[in-house]
């Protein structure tokens, strides 16, 4: 897949995000009589990175958030560098957000040429299931679909590759909480899923 198609997709997504945010904010500001009324109270930013567990919160309606991360994986005798891995999020409602995940990697292996490029772009969502009540945790469902054609040539997959996870969060105090996930991922080459769990 040519890089121009990938860039076109990203430009379309950013254009949609910008116009969506502008329209929502314009509607929110319209009709406000005082500066005090125009002040918006939102929760602190809750990022799903850099840890391994996704939290159970969703982005506020009309907001856009971008999270970047860098990772290094030792594959002996070589490394996989991800720089950056970017999660783009748009709040559609109080309990639902749209997501796009882009990852650019570089693979080095002793005695072999380096490989670098964009992994298949993943589009998805995050949706609130229920709020914490006593021992019952906050819970959300997260789904992604990896698009085989929207990637650098050497990283294209044969099939669409879905991934799903349930994200749970228990608040212990106002500043202390635990998060844990259960899920499954497919690699785009066969029908066998890889199951995952995290706890932090």
pLDDT over 50 (residue 22): no
pLDDT tens readout for residues 74-132? 988 889 998 888 999 999 999 999 999 999 999 998 888 888 999 999 999 999 999 99
Q: Are 88 and 102 in contact (CB under 8 A)?
A: yes
CA distance 154 to 161: 16
Whose structure tokens read 């050497």?
A: 154
H-helix or E-strand spanning residue 11:
helix 3-29
Q: Return the number of other C-beta atoms located less than 10 Å from residue 149's C-beta.
A: 13
In this prediction, residue 53 carries a pLDDT of 81
pLDDT over 70 (residue 159): yes
Query: With the C-alpha atoms ordered 14, 20, 24, 25, is the resulting torsion angle positive or negative?
Result: positive
Q: Distances in Å between the alpha carbon of 87 and those of 74, 78, 144, 198?
A: 23, 26, 12, 19
Name the band, by pLDDT with cuts 50, 70 and 90, for residue 29: very low
Q: Are 127 and 12 in contact (CB under 8 A)?
A: no
Q: What is the pTM for the complete model shown?
A: 0.75
Whose structure tokens read 């314009």?
A: 26
Average pLDDT of span 147-166? 93
Whose structure tokens read 């125009």?
A: 38
Q: Are 6 and 121 in contact (CB under 8 A)?
A: yes
CA distance 24 to 64: 11
């Amino acid at each position: 897949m040519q890089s121009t198609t990938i860039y076109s997709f990203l430009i379309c997504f950013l254009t949609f995000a910008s116009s969506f945010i502008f329209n929502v904010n314009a509607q929110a500001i319209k009709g406000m009589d005082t500066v005090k009324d125009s002040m918006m109270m939102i929760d602190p930013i809750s990022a799903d990175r850099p840890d391994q567990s996704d939290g159970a919160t969703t982005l506020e309606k009309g907001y856009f958030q971008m999270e970047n991360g860098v990772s290094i994986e030792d594959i002996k005798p070589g490394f996989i560098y991800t720089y950056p891995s970017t999660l783009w999020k748009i709040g559609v409602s109080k309990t639902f957000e749209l997501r796009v995940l882009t990852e650019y990697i570089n693979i080095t292996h002793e005695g072999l040429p380096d490989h670098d490029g964009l992994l298949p772009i993943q589009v998805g969502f995050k949706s609130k299931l229920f709020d914490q009540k006593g021992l019952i945790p906050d819970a959300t469902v997260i789904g992604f679909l990896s698009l085989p054609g929207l990637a650098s040539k050497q990283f294209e997959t044969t099939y669409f590759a879905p991934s799903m996870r349930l994200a749970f969060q228990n608040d212990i105090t106002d500043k202390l909480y635990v998060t844990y996930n259960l899920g499954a991922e497919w690699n785009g080459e066969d029908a066998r899923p890889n199951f995952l769990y995290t706890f932090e």
